Amino acid sequence: MQLSFEQKQFILNHENDNVSLLALHSSTFEGIEKQFVLAQIAGRQISKNKIPTFYNNPEIIYPIHISLEQASSEETAKYKASLFQKRKKLFIDLTGGLGIDFMFLSRCFSESIYVEKNIVLSELAIHNFNLLNLENYTIINSDAEIVINEIEKANLIFLDPSRRDNDGRKVFQIEDCSPDLIEIKDLLLDKSDEVLIKYSPMLDISLALKTLGNVKQVHVVSIENECKELLFLLSKEKTDCVYYTINLKKNGEVEEFSFYPEEEHSCIIDNITYPENYLYEPNASILKAGGFKVLTKFYDVKKLHNHSHLYTSKELINDFPGRTFKIEKITSPNKKHLQSQMSGIKKANITVRNFPMSVEKIRKLTNLKDGGDIYIFATTLEDKKKVFIICRKI
């Protein structure tokens, strides 16, 4: 399996084209397998930012009918590998797919096994892994459930259960994904020291903990403040579960905040009655993990309201895990008051937190276009007063 010279040239010549429009020109594909090269162009377009290691090698082959949607990005795959830097013996990926996670996790182990029931994906893995010079790996084309029963003992088993049903519709419940971890969890823990499971960020974390059990770590991973995936690390050992909230930035920086769920539940805070000089908005991973009150335990900030999830301080907190703003004005939603306070402002980025109006309605009320360097937070204070906090990002 490899690209012909003609296919490769066609793909590279058209890799920036609109694939849907390109598909309409049948005469363009004379002597070239149309659906195959279209899939390669689409794959390169997606991988350019998502999987640069694939994009930088023009010999990589992408699947035709399998969406790259569920495949991990290179950044999140590298993050997973960072959790297992101490080299161990055996790693098994039971849901190999395109192999992005396998490609990076396998480098932390002396032996690795890629398992995939789709024969086409298995054959692509052989081709692509050879191109990327992966070492000491085995590819098995089989069902995960069959392989589990045949293996002896691994150090880590990884699964990224399919989140589509037989009709191709998206599913979000653990029991609806394939394989169903509820059915095989105990067997997995008998066969491996640890089990790492990747799920959609749409999954309810608290419900997942109750369903899976044996979870010692939850990792909520975002890229540039967009939540991408949830990771659950399971083991047989009895231990308190820790939440790790991770925000990976394009400049290489990592915002990391960790806490125990019990810390959040037991934390008692005094909300402030009025914002001070600076405003803080936690990143998407913290909001997904529900680390609301516990932030005040580790950072010298005060919460505006139990349900607003916005924080304030007199002095600037440089390392707050999220966005930081300098407050310029605070105004009521009264239209006349707004007009006087927003004189000269034509554009603003508007965020609603615990407020009875949508962003669209606020734009109609204020006649503000989207964008610019002004940020407005429409929110509710502890005394139930509704306010617009006008800021500039730091």
Which domain CATH number covers 280?
Answer: 3.30.2130
- For the record, the structure tokens of 221 come out as 């991973």
Are residues 218 and 193 located together in one domain of the fold? yes
When pLDDT is cut at 50, 70 and 90, the band that residue 33 belongs to is confident
DSSP secondary structure code for residue 308 in this structure: T
Helix (H) or strand (E) holding 283: none
pLDDT digits (tens, 9 = 90+) for 211-230: 998 999 999 999 999 999 99
The fraction of the chain above a pLDDT of 90, given in percent, is 77
**pLDDT mean over 196-204:** 94
Q: Which pLDDT score is estimated for 315?
A: 97
Per the structure, the count of domains in the chain is 3
pLDDT digits (tens, 9 = 90+) for 78-132: 999 999 977 789 999 999 999 999 999 999 999 999 999 999 999 999 999 999 9
Strands (E) located in 200-264: 215-223, 226-235, 242-248, 254-259
| Distance linking the first and last C-alpha atoms of the chain | 52
Are residues 235 and 295 located together in one domain of the fold? no
Residue 62 lies in a domain: no
Residue 83 lies in a domain: yes
Are residues 44 and 166 located together in one domain of the fold? no
Q: Single out the residue in 237, 259, 281 at which a domain terminates.
A: 259
How many Cβ atoms from other residues are within 10 Å of residue 63's Cβ?
18
When pLDDT is cut at 50, 70 and 90, the band that residue 168 belongs to is low
Are residues 126 and 254 located together in one domain of the fold? yes
Does residue 28 surpass a pLDDT of 80? no
Structure pTM?
0.92
Q: Single out the residue in 259, 279, 309 at which a domain terminates.
A: 259
Residue 182 lies in a domain: yes
Q: Single out the residue in 214, 239, 259 at which a domain terminates.
A: 259
Q: The domain spanning residue 113 has which CATH number?
A: 3.40.50.150
**Burial call 118-137: b when 16+ CB within 10 Å, e when fewer:** eeebbbbbeebbeeeebeeb
Residue 125 lies in a domain: yes
pLDDT, averaged across the chain = 92
pLDDT digits (tens, 9 = 90+) for 310-366: 999 999 999 999 999 999 999 998 888 887 888 889 999 999 999 999 999 999 998
Q: Which pLDDT score is estimated for 85?
A: 79
Whether the bond into 356 is cis, omega within 30 of 0 = no
Are residues 238 and 318 located together in one domain of the fold? no
- For the record, the structure tokens of 193 come out as 């020291």
Residue 176 lies in a domain: yes
Are residues 232 and 329 located together in one domain of the fold? no
Are residues 254 and 279 located together in one domain of the fold? no
Are residues 151 and 192 located together in one domain of the fold? yes
Are residues 153 and 290 located together in one domain of the fold? no
Residue 200 lies in a domain: yes
Residue 249 lies in a domain: yes
Q: Which pLDDT score is estimated for 166?
A: 65
Are residues 302 and 254 located together in one domain of the fold? no
Q: Which pLDDT score is estimated for 66?
A: 65
CB-neighbour burial class of residue 288 (10 A; exposed 0-12, middle 13-18, buried 19+) = buried
Are residues 197 and 328 located together in one domain of the fold? no
Kind of pairing, strands 347-353 and 369-380? parallel
The fraction of the chain above a pLDDT of 70, given in percent, is 98
Residue 67 lies in a domain: no
Domain, as residue range, for 315: 266-393
**CA-CA distance, 261 to 291, in Å (whole number)?**
8
Are residues 246 and 272 located together in one domain of the fold? no
